[in-house]
Amino acid sequence: MMKIFKYLLLATVALGALYSCTKLDSTAYHSIPADAYYQNKDEVISAVLRPYTHTNAWATSSGQIGWWRVSALAGDQLAWPQKGVDGYDGAKWIRLHYHTWNSDDDDVRNPWKLLWTGLGYCNSAIANIGARPAASMGITEEEQKNYIAELKLLHAFYYIRIMDLWGNVPWITSLDVVHPPTLPEAQIFDSVEAEIKDNINLVPNLSEEMLGRMSKAGAYAMLSELYLNAEVWSGKPRWQDCINACDSLLDNRAGGVINNRLSLDSNLTETYLPSNKASQEQIFAIVYNHQSADWNAGFPSDFYHFNQKFIYGGTVTGNNGIVVIPGVYDTYDDADQRKKEWFFIGPMWYYDTASKTDNANKKFPVMGYREYQGKQLVFVDNIRRNSELKAGQDPSTLVSDMTHGEENSGVRFNKYKLGAQDDPNYRSTSWMIYRLTMIYYAKAEAEMRLNGNKATQDAVDLINTVRKRDFDPKVWPSKKYTTANFTMDSLLAERGREFIFEGYRRQDLIRFGKFTTGTWWDHKPLNDKNKLLFAIPIEQLSLNPNLKQNPGY
């Protein structure tokens, strides 16, 4: 495993001198100069891994405006409200929440640049590794074939996310294309499917060595997502194909990080701990290592309060940005242990060094920073300016919307744990892109879709198998779903509870027909089907005359 971090460090430092992940030029399809690179195996592997380090920027909660952020903040669970002097940020997050973004918005411009730049990294490495004799690079022909297949699978992953946001886009597989034309989304879907199927048997099974890389298991997970959303993305449902892809993983035909097999983690926290490189259910993750490569998880930037380091015993704080939309927290059953483990709500306390427990030292309250400076920080399940409440005033009469928050507004994220600074894996928590729980849910949904949107016994069993770890065994029998009470609405709600913070909520709402028609908190539906896709950035239309703007922009 340590070899991976050696190569990640080399990829980040050596190739970082050639290509920047943050200072992007305005050309969407730029090529990457190879110069004198690819002279030995280390340089080849570093080139293979370079797109992965870039993927962190947009696929996770990284502090950048990428696929994750726009997908999360456009949904019905998370928001980044203005909190007094903090968080207005040109109203970017407000427009995402109300679905009023436009073609000149950072919310469409930045994800476009990040995704197409990363696609360029894939295409560059594919072209350069494929153009040289294997021996000249210090690798075998078999390794050369495997590396190219791995990169093509990662290329397909990039396109799944590009298709998810913009639908109708060019299909780019080379470096020398000029002004590529826009293709229909269904054609992009077919190209992605073909690319995955052409390469799935040319890459290794998932193993510890393939941790954080695109393996056969990752390819099947991509197919499950592709087919789960096929009706939206291609116009044709592919439910049985989704089931088949899921079965390849559920039947352990593609390996696993632990003992060459996948299995559900035994409890609801180990998937998100700093030690989660040992998670049994991880399929594809962005893998960090603060200790060896100074390669750090970035989610604190989006989620953490200014004084959050005192709560968990670390050194990193954040921008006090993203919070849980009011009411979402209460959709969890009080007996559901996720409600306790995945969120911060109520009075905040210092990390307890004796028990090594966050928010537990009741001798030392964590203090506020803005409105509550000098007072204990208390996170609340509402977004309004409670500090301005007058004597005798009913709190419900305060304005509650995206511009009237304050520093303690909203229930807070505690799903992924960064660890205390004395944790041997501090700041090295991997971010799961695909995990086995998703496969259970995808198969259950596909079975229900094939059954006229009604629950089958197998679908219910799949969901109950996952949910069982969320409840104490004493109460679990009363919390089980049955075919009589498990509906499509139940499934959407359960997906929300299980995958909160993971970035898939927008995609789910679209697939369930709720994204443009649903009401949540202060968000009122626009009933505008054009908002199912984001705008093509206006600057890209001027750079490439063959690009076509999506309808409604």
Q: Which residue has the tokens 């396109």?
A: 159
The Cα–Cα gap between 187 and 199 comes to 19
- Same-domain check for residues 55 and 146: yes
Range of the domain at 149: 37-203+516-552
Average pLDDT of the segment spanning 161-178:
96
Q: Is residue 443 part of a domain?
A: yes
Would the pLDDT of 18 be above 90?
A: no
Residue 34's pLDDT band, with cuts at 50, 70 and 90, is: low
Whether the per-residue pLDDT at 26 is higher than 80: the answer is no
- Whether 8 is covered by a domain: the verdict is no
Q: Are 283 and 221 in contact (CB under 8 A)?
A: yes
**Assigned domain for 504 exists:** no
Instruction: Dump pLDDT digits (tens) for 466-491.
Output: 999 999 999 999 999 999 999 999 99
Q: What is the pLDDT of residues 98-123, one digit of tens each?
A: 999 999 999 999 999 999 999 999 99
> So what's the pLDDT on residue 1?
52
pLDDT in the model for residue 160: 98
Closest CA to 320 of 347, 300, 340: 300
Q: What is the pLDDT of residue 9?
A: 46
Percent of the chain at pLDDT above 90?
92
Between CA 512 and CA 337 the distance in angstroms is: 27
**Residue 107 neighbours by CB distance under 10 Å:** 20
Banded model confidence at residue 4, pLDDT cuts 50, 70, 90: low
| Mean pLDDT, residues 320-334 taken together | 98
The reply to whether 329 and 356 lie within a common domain is yes
- Three-state DSSP at 115 gives helix
With 60 as the cut, is the pLDDT of residue 30 above it? no
* Judgement on whether residues 337 and 450 belong to the same structural domain of the protein: no
**Same domain for 358 and 416?**
yes
Do the domain assignments include residue 505?
no
Of 175-179, 219-223, 362-366, the least confident: 175-179
Backbone angles phi, psi at 482, to 5 degrees: -130, 170
- 52 and 186 belong to one structural domain: yes
Average pLDDT of 510-531?
A: 98
Q: How confident is the model at residue 24 (pLDDT cuts 50, 70, 90)?
A: very low
Judged on CB neighbours under 10 Å (0-12, 13-18, 19+), 373 is exposed
Asked if residue 170 is part of any domain, the answer here is yes
For residue 197, pLDDT beyond 70: yes
Per-residue H/E/C for 458-469: HHHHHHHHHHHH
Do both 345 and 457 map to the same domain? no
Integer CA distances (angstroms), 509 to 116, 427, 516, in order: 25, 32, 8
Residue 309 lies in a domain: yes
Residues 193 and 116 in one domain: yes
25 — pLDDT class (breaks 50, 70, 90)? very low
Query: Which domain-ending residue is among 486, 506, 528?
Result: 486
- pLDDT of res. 392: 94
- Let me know whether 414 and 438 are in one domain: no
Q: Would residue 26 count as lying in a domain? A: no
Of the residues 469, 486, 503, the one at which a domain ends: 486
- Which pLDDT value is given to residue 33? 55
The whole-chain average pLDDT of the chain stands at 94
Residue type for position 549 = Q
Together in a domain, 81 and 162: yes
3-state secondary structure of 228: helix
- Total number of domains constituting the chain: 3
Residues 177 and 243 in one domain: no
Q: Which of 2-16, 232-246, 267-281, 339-353 has the lowest mean pLDDT?
A: 2-16
Residues 278 and 307 in one domain: no
Please state the pTM of the whole predicted model: 0.94
For the cut 70, the answer to whether the pLDDT of residue 85 exceeds it is yes
Asked if residue 32 has pLDDT above 70, the reply is: no
- Average pLDDT for 343-359: 97
**Average pLDDT of the residues in 132-137:** 96
If pLDDT is split at 50, 70 and 90, which confidence band does 36 have? confident
Q: Where are the beta strands (DSSP E) in 397-490?
A: 412-413, 431-435
Backbone torsion region of residue 139, taken as left when φ is above 0, otherwise alpha when ψ lies between -120 and 50, otherwise beta: beta
Kindly report which listed range (4-8, 11-15, 133-137, 306-310) carries the lowest average pLDDT score: 11-15
Residue 20 lies in a domain: no
Q: Looking at the structure, tell me whether residues 407 and 267 fall in a common domain.
A: no
Report the residue count for the chain: 553
Give me the CATH number covering residue 268.
1.25.40.10
CATH assignment of the domain containing 535? 1.25.40.390
